[in-house]
Amino acid sequence: MDTGLIITIIIFVVVSIVILKIVTKLIKAVLMILIIAFLITSIFGFFTYQDSVELKNNLENELNLVLLQDNEKIVAGFVATDFEEEAEFLRISQVAEYQNSFKKQDYKKMLGDNYKMFIIEIKAFDFDDEKVYFIGKRVSKNFLYSVLKSNDPINLYRIEIGINPSLDGISDPVEFKSQVFAVLFSEAIEKKGTFFIFSEYKKKNIIVYPETAVFKFIGLIPTAFVKKMFEEAKDSAINKINQTIKG
């Protein structure tokens, strides 16, 4: 046999073996990376789910402060109790105090004796033509957005809807906005469950205080994965808020 041919065959065999070893190592490395990624995602997903369950339970049983933010200004809010009693809707003086602390990012002072605090950007909500119940009447979320942005929300509501909130004892404009905010929050939770809080937190539309470890690292978890886990999570206890404000 020709010596050159033998050398060529040997080189081909050696190169093939080297390539095979490299490819095998690459495949093993890729598989290892995929396994590690799957394990990390699963672990974070599990703890996110646990956090969601805990959040759901504590929303039902603990005091939670929920504030609405618009252009870095606190404009409304409410304190949700164990839902056996009415929610406490914030008034002008209370919101002013929270705003002062918010400017200083003194979240601990804002939290007070509440279990958890949520500061939600107004853009976290979908303001479309879909209608929701508010004070015994169906109104569009788009109109409720106008109410939240108005300097005279009670008068705007009276003129456009034909119902005077003052007749129900509501004279404080911030308290009225707080009731509107509570309806929107309730509707979002009813539709998306606690996924609403997790997803908007990822978008930086919600400040959560105090944060758990999962909230701090939730950016590592794909939104689609979190959504799949919580798409059926419904917080039925939030309905108590609606019962308070629908009349």
113-159 tens-digit pLDDT: 998 999 999 999 999 889 998 987 899 999 999 999 999 999 999 99
Please answer whether residues 88 and 182 qualify as being in contact, where contact means their C-beta atoms are separated by less than 8 angstroms. Answer: no
217: amino acid identity, one letter: F
Q: 183-242: per-residue pLDDT in tens?
A: 999 889 888 877 788 889 888 999 999 987 677 776 666 666 656 555 544 443 344 445
Provide the pLDDT for residue 212.
Answer: 77
pLDDT tens digits, residue range 59-106? 667 889 999 999 999 999 999 865 445 789 999 999 999 999 999 999
Q: How many domains does the chain have?
A: 1
Domain assignment present for residue 131? The answer is: yes
pLDDT value of residue 220: 65
Dist CA 186 CA 240 (whole Å): 9
Position 121 scores a pLDDT of: 97
Q: For residue 7, is it within any domain?
A: no
Measured distance CA(54)–CA(240) in Å, rounded:
19
pLDDT of residue 195: 78
State residue 17's pLDDT score.
81
Please give the pLDDT value at position 61: 75
Q: CA-to-CA distance for 243 and 247, rounded, in angstroms?
A: 7
Averaged over 10-32, what is the pLDDT? 79
Q: Is residue 25 part of a domain?
A: no
239 within a domain of the structure (yes/no) = yes
**Average pLDDT score over residue span 4-29:** 76
In a domain, 168, yes or no: yes
Q: Is 196 inside any structural domain?
A: yes
Is 21 among the domain residues? Answer: no
Output the pLDDT for position 233: 42
Quick one: tokens of 91? 């008034």
Domain encompassing residue 71 = 59-246
- Average pLDDT of the chain to the nearest whole number: 81
Is the pTM value of this prediction over 0.95? Answer: no
Q: Quick one: how far is CA 55 from the chain centroid?
A: 11
* 50 falls within a domain: no
